[in-house]
Amino acid sequence: MYEVNVEGVRNVVQACMTKHVRRLVYTSSVHAIAELPHGQKIGESHIFNPSLVRGSYAKTKAEATDFVLKSTQQGLDAVIVHPAGIIGPEDHQMSNLGQLVLDYLKGKLRAYVSGGYNFVDVRDVVQGILQAADKGVSGECYILSGEYHSVREMLKMMEDITDIKAPKTKLPRWFAMLTSPFAELHYRIRKQKPLFTAYSIFTLGTNSDFSNDKAKKSLNYTTTPFRKTLEDTIAWMRNHKMEPKPKKRRTKKVKNQQNIRHWANGT
- One-letter amino acid identity for 174? W
Average pLDDT, the chain: 88
- CA 84, CA 73: separation in Å to the nearest integer? 26
How far is C-alpha 31 from the geometric centre of its chain's CA atoms? 12
The string of DSSP letters for 102-158 reads HHHHTT---EEES-EEEEEEHHHHHHHHHHHHHHPPTT-EEEE--EEEEHHHHHHHH
Coil, helix or strand for 94?
coil
Residue 163 CA: distances (Å) to CA of 113, 152, 155, 248? 21, 15, 11, 19
Q: How many residues comprise the chain?
A: 267
Confidence of residue 194 (pLDDT cuts 50, 70, 90): low
Q: What is the mean pLDDT of residues 152-164?
A: 95
Q: Which residues contact 252 (CB under 8 A, 6 or more apart)?
A: none
Q: Are 128 and 219 in contact (CB under 8 A)?
A: yes
Please state at what angle helix 8-18 crosses helix 56-71, rounded to 10 degrees: 20
**Distance from chain centroid for Cα 229:** 13
Domains of the chain, residue spans: 2-247
Q: Which residue has the higher pLDDT, 185 or 104?
A: 104
pTM for this prediction: 0.84
CB 75 within 8 A of CB 17: yes
pLDDT in tens, 212-253: 999 999 999 999 999 999 999 999 999 987 665 555 545 555
3 state SS of 240: coil
Q: Which fold has domain 2-247?
A: Rossmann fold (3.40.50)
Instruction: Place 5 in a pLDDT band, splitting at 50, 70 and 90.
Output: very high
